[in-house]
Structure 1
């Protein structure tokens, strides 16, 4: 690491945990794996901290300006395009659209740089299903009126496996060596989650729904937001360390923190919201080699040519009586640009909006402090052939029991049967799950490429002997503020609701953090919701897609 010189074992312990560090063996000398740290948002975005920035003398006029080309911003533009609004422009800080759903590609395969799957929707309504229909992913409707999906998009078996003490085992829950008490607790936990999934309020709303905006706001359920998921487990008498590991994995996977720091409502939502009370539906997960980058491409394809402008650093959004003035810099040349927009959708996280919205610089909303964000690191490792394994065969999702990482997914999984011995790309995920997000962010950003190569290899080598010799290239993406954390009290507290309110009639907001969960469905929902507010203000209101 740049700031402090650590031994290799100390480095591994600091990022991946003591169990992985204790297994580190002295390496034989080897050539370094070619690669790089590929992100640049930190160096560009931190220009916002440098004081006043210039304004252009000439204003570019536009009916609707969407700031941010992540899933929320693109969903807003998609909804506006669907309503026939032509004068829409999307500006994006980075050189690629998609935010944490973006993807990459090399000669072997496309691969994700963040979100890599979409749970198959349970209902045939809402904007996500509409988008899936547009891209031909919905094959029909079953006898119960529920959507069915193209089989080629559903994850092929084997879906998941688990590495523990030298061998791979089937599934996420480690059944090998489990006691009767462990299995009884798992059965009781599953029954509780099924009951939560089946629960409805007097208005017929699910207690835990996708997106979160459709969930019941009855106190019977929202009271769960006042305690942590770990506290709820203890209160309900769940003591199995194996169950606790499973719940922690779920919280780290979707929320970037362990169960001690995640709302019990959000923890239960993970297990209950995507099923109908009878256990998980067979449709499972939808995925592509590039992960949710395929959904980003679909949103982009619905927009007019040149609607999205990249490398535009917006630094000020100033609401007025007739619209908003938006000041920006060309991130490549440093030249100022300014826009006058009748309507603006600010599709960025709250911590960034705090710097951009001019009135908030002098009167900072108190609710901003409720939003915290977990940093993540994603690495794509290209191999000359699939990794060697002991035990259960290579799966789509491959998890390490004793590591702080989430393991990896296989970008070529859907075509392994046709090319099972060919090159592949493994996408490795590390949520920085410590309680102090600022310290975790500093740690992630201070590590060098050499550090990340050592960490990825330390994580992979025990499960895959010889993997260093198969490695052809490693690329690393650091996400300093990857996902909002649904901490206790956040999901149903007043701060998140206050953050959703527009500023006047011309400035509206969209982002996953407004839903409290960093998920595609939340980004899509709030993007469409903001766009429909814009349509109302433009006098073009139509039937809601929500």
Structure 2
């Protein structure tokens, strides 16, 4: 049965947005398209036996997947002097969920759009930022500083509520003394978590997760949801609960009811110093984290990266791995024999690709759950008018299930200009039933998405319809691993990180339990160093 526009909006964005859309005037639809295509090719993995080539292309290291993790592995191997290196990618472009686009107005992200600046001058992310000339110095305590043009410029955040924009993400307007007292108490708890160290000197909550303390004093938080922890701690202010829920949806693609309390605390504690001061800020570019993956990819030679290659079988052996693939453009079979393989794809893909796992699915595989997301880029002829606090980099709707939008040209030093820009709109499909959410996202038509995006924007920007020039929609069916209660410190994630034999190693954000660049980079570098060891090549660890 076809839904009315109001029913469609209520199903995706909630009743408050649906109520507002009934008061919107008629308008011409915005031209555009759904731009993702890989879902059709990727589903060939489920169709049964695929043709196989009889001739194998030899290679020292084959990396399957050119997202942030796969490109981080390639970057590490290239730095170690590995020349016989190949990266193959299903999509037409590298980058995974950090991929970006560009039109005549601006570059813009198709997924991840910022990197929290590191607190300390250690680890592979800092090495990457130095390569990009993003680091301007390090103080006596080892805290780095970063190029001003990369740090998010003010105004950085605002929230829309009841017809008005307000500064920041916590809704202070109309907050009661009790609300503010709860916020102050919550901040104090997060500061204490941020300052906590174990007997080995490890932070209780660190970036990446692998550097965090495994003491039960803190990991016990993983057993319950963030919502349950908030209730147990007496945090009942609706504004604080919304703020925490927003954080969970933003970083994990799920509500606080479906996110581990350890992950919820990590969001607020891992990137600050325990004194209430977060890192130096967020680093961003018009193309978002597309800039980071571009830097990683620059380590590869012109024939070392191949796109539109569907790897469907990896067979570990005594002398390496046999890898079977299809040319996604022609359907022609290909095959590789690699001394070492880095499989940089999520577990749900690996389950169909790794031959032994197809035969006997690991028991831990079902612990990995993924949130679907939808990202839409709307090109407008001018920034939309606002009532209240002025246009910011991050613009959030308090009463919507979406996360609002970021402004692609905010970092171009012309945010006060009245010229055209691109608004990047984000919707995490955060319901409990991820399969139903995924089906809903993939079955919606372009017309549905156009109606949803505009219904979300119009209450805050009544004139945006006249400014809208083109809308493009990207659906990510399995965008982010969910750190559900029990997952981050459970056995499944630990088991999934282990190499299979001496020749097959794994890299992806899902191994860290959080779909963040730092996790992808960490596991990419770790897999690369395991491959180096497998080839007998000694190299000091970057980890």
Matched, 1:323 2:350: no
Matched, 1:461 2:458: yes
The answer to whether the 8 Å contact 2:119/2:279 transfers is no
Matched, 1:473 2:442: no
Query: Who is 2:384 aligned against?
Result: 387
Moved more, 297-306 or 386-395: 297-306
Query: Who is 1:504 aligned against?
Result: 501
Q: Where do 1:267-306 residues align within 5 Å?
A: 267-281=264-278, 283-306=280-303
SS at match of 1:23: helix
| 1:31 Cα offset (Å) | 2.5
Matched, 1:176 2:144: no
| 1:419 Cα offset (Å) | 5.6
Provide the rounded CA distance (Å) in 1 between the counterparts of 2:252 and 2:102: 26
Q: 2:127 aligns with which of 121, 127, 130?
A: 130
Moved more, 49-58 or 274-283: 274-283
Q: Where do 1:218-233 residues align within 5 Å?
A: 218-233=215-230
SS at match of 1:209: coil
Provide the rounded CA distance (Å) in 2 between the counterparts of 1:167 and 1:519: 32
Matched, 1:164 2:164: no
Matched, 1:190 2:190: no
Q: 1:171 to 1:27 in 2, by over 3 A?
A: closer
Matched, 1:420 2:435: no
Query: Who is 1:485 aligned against?
Result: 482
| 1:303 Cα offset (Å) | 1.4
SS at match of 1:430: strand
Matched, 1:539 2:536: yes
Q: 1:245 to 1:28 in 2, by over 3 A?
A: closer
TM-score w.r.t. the length of structure 2 is: 0.99
SS at match of 1:136: coil
Provide the rounded CA distance (Å) in 2 between the counterparts of 1:446 and 1:173: 34
**C-alpha distance after superposition, 1:368-419 (max 9, x if no partner):** 0100000000000000000110000000000000000000000000235466
Provide the rounded CA distance (Å) in 2 between the counterparts of 1:444 and 1:338: 34
Provide the rounded CA distance (Å) in 1 between the counterparts of 2:308 and 2:279: 42
Provide the rounded CA distance (Å) in 1 between the counterparts of 2:471 and 2:414: 24
Query: Who is 2:93 aligned against?
Result: 96
SS at match of 1:412: helix
Provide the rounded CA distance (Å) in 1 between the counterparts of 2:541 and 2:250: 32
**C-alpha distance after superposition, 1:103-154 (max 9, x if no partner):** 0000000000000000000010100000000010011112322111000100
Q: Where do 1:235-274 residues align within 5 Å?
A: 235-274=232-271
Provide the rounded CA distance (Å) in 2 between the counterparts of 1:417 and 1:184: 38
| 1:281 Cα offset (Å) | 3.3
Provide the rounded CA distance (Å) in 1 between the counterparts of 2:206 and 2:427: 27
Query: Who is 2:40 aligned against?
Result: 43
Provide the rounded CA distance (Å) in 2 between the counterparts of 1:31 and 1:516: 43
Query: Who is 2:362 aligned against?
Result: 365
SS at match of 2:21: coil
TM-score w.r.t. the length of structure 1 is: 0.99
Provide the rounded CA distance (Å) in 1 between the counterparts of 2:27 and 2:252: 36
**C-alpha distance after superposition, 1:402-441 (max 9, x if no partner):** 0000000000002354661000000000000000000000
Provide the rounded CA distance (Å) in 2 between the counterparts of 1:195 and 1:141: 25
Query: Who is 1:5 aligned against?
Result: 2
Provide the rounded CA distance (Å) in 2 between the counterparts of 1:21 and 1:265: 34
Provide the rounded CA distance (Å) in 2 between the counterparts of 1:335 and 1:487: 40
**C-alpha distance after superposition, 1:75-100 (max 9, x if no partner):** 00000000000001000000010000
Query: Who is 1:309 aligned against?
Result: 306
Query: Who is 2:203 aligned against?
Result: 206
Q: 1:70 to 1:319 in 2, by over 3 A?
A: same
Q: 2:343 aligns with which of 341, 346, 356?
A: 346
Provide the rounded CA distance (Å) in 2 between the counterparts of 1:81 and 1:485: 32
The answer to whether the 8 Å contact 2:117/2:279 transfers is no
Which ranges in structure 2 are unaligned for 5 or more consecutive residues? none
